Amino acid sequence: MLCSLEARNFRILEHLEVTPGEEVTVFCGANGAGKTSILEAIDFLSRGRSFRSRQLEALLRRGSREVTVTGSVRHAGMRKHLGIRKSAGERQLHCDRRPVHSISNHAGILPVVPVHPDSHRLVQAGARYRRNYLDWSAFHVKPAFLSDWRQFSRCLRQRNQLLRKGERGRPLQAWTRQIAQAGERIGKTRFEVFEEIRRIFELFTGKLLPEAGISMSYYRGWPGECRSLQEALERAADQERQIRATRWGPHRADFRLALDGRPAARVASRGQQKLLAASLLLAQIRHLRDHAQRPCIVLLDDLCAELDRPHAQTLMQAVQSLGCQTFISTVEPERLDLQGWRQAEMFHVKQGTCTRLRGQAA
């Protein structure tokens, strides 16, 4: 749980200090006031980037050279202090005021799932978004995944370098064996996560899209007729020499969503895509709770503008049922149904300044 947040020079926020509520915290105000920036700062503290941008230039307040976000977090019964400072030349991370070297430390302590206007890219955009989705869950739930992923990434870089040089001998064969072994482990873990999430996903689509026939299918990243990744790579040797890159592996994995038997990316309306994405993210949150016995932080950005009132209310009720600390940005706080929360903290945001209105009994 996030107990306090401080941000300096983050987008429109010159200096922000917020003590959020334990259950739900609402940031209201006009468009462009800085509401979404606060949610982005929470995401940035967890992942070192924002759900709206990976580029530092987009996050820096005008005239600033570095951005700093810190926060106090309750994790596993202990209080942790996380911080990240980022400039064009470097990134500094700390936990309890001691340097750490990987953002995975922050992500492990402060897992965050944002639901925002671009979440529909999970359905409509390329496979990279869906791989990242599965990898987030695997990182938090499967202890060996991060090590396997790092090993596979290193092997993939080395093997691609040899392919670009036109190598055909033993060095390439050695990296092929290593990439096949690590890739098989990643594929197995991802499929386990996919199957665990799929069952939960079906529960949420039953609530948000009860009228639609929705299905999910997993693609591991190499042909189904091949018994192993090793065999797939050996069969693709001639093709790889032409394209000078590794043809098959978990870096090609994907999962597909279908609506009444047809690809959802092509036939689903924009509203249906948003509800499918919301169902995926809710399933991810529930999966973390059920399989790692821990909640995450949920960010709901401009929910009322994205969904009609009945679907927004259903989504809010689903989030409430998960028992996660939730942060909401909205232009119209009167449209929010907060009855499922016992206590709601509300802040008004104007020109990057955040003012607590009052703690409200929901």
Tell me the pLDDT tens digit for each residue of 204-254: 999 999 988 999 999 999 999 999 999 999 999 999 999 999 999 999 999
> Crossing angle of helices 170-208/145-164, nearest 10°?
130
Cα distances from 331 to residues 27, 34, 117, 154, 355, in angstroms, run 9, 11, 14, 45, 15
Instruction: Give 63's DSSP letter.
Output: T
Per-residue pLDDT of the chain (362 residues; tens, 9 = 90+): 999 999 999 999 999 999 999 999 999 999 999 999 999 999 999 999 999 988 899 999 999 999 999 999 998 889 999 999 999 889 999 999 899 999 999 999 999 999 998 999 999 999 999 999 999 999 999 999 999 999 999 999 999 999 998 888 888 999 999 999 999 999 999 999 999 999 999 999 999 999 889 999 999 999 999 999 999 999 999 999 999 999 999 999 999 999 999 999 999 998 899 999 999 999 999 999 999 988 899 999 987 776 788 888 888 889 999 999 999 999 988 888 888 888 889 999 999 999 998 665 55
Q: What is the pLDDT of residue 358?
A: 67
Q: Which two tokens mark 143?
A: 């202890």
Rounded Cα distance, 52 and 35, in Å: 13
Rounded Cα distance, 253 and 188, in Å: 11
Rounded Cα distance, 131 and 19, in Å: 34
Residue recorded with tokens 């050695």: 174
Phi and psi based region of residue 249 (left: phi greater than 0; alpha: psi -120 to 50; beta: remaining) = left
Identify the structural domains of the chain with CATH numbers, from first to last. 1-21+30-110+337-362 (3.40.50.300), 125-269 (1.20.1050.90)
Rounded Cα distance, 281 and 197, in Å: 10
φ and ψ at residue 254, rounded to 5 degrees: -165, 165
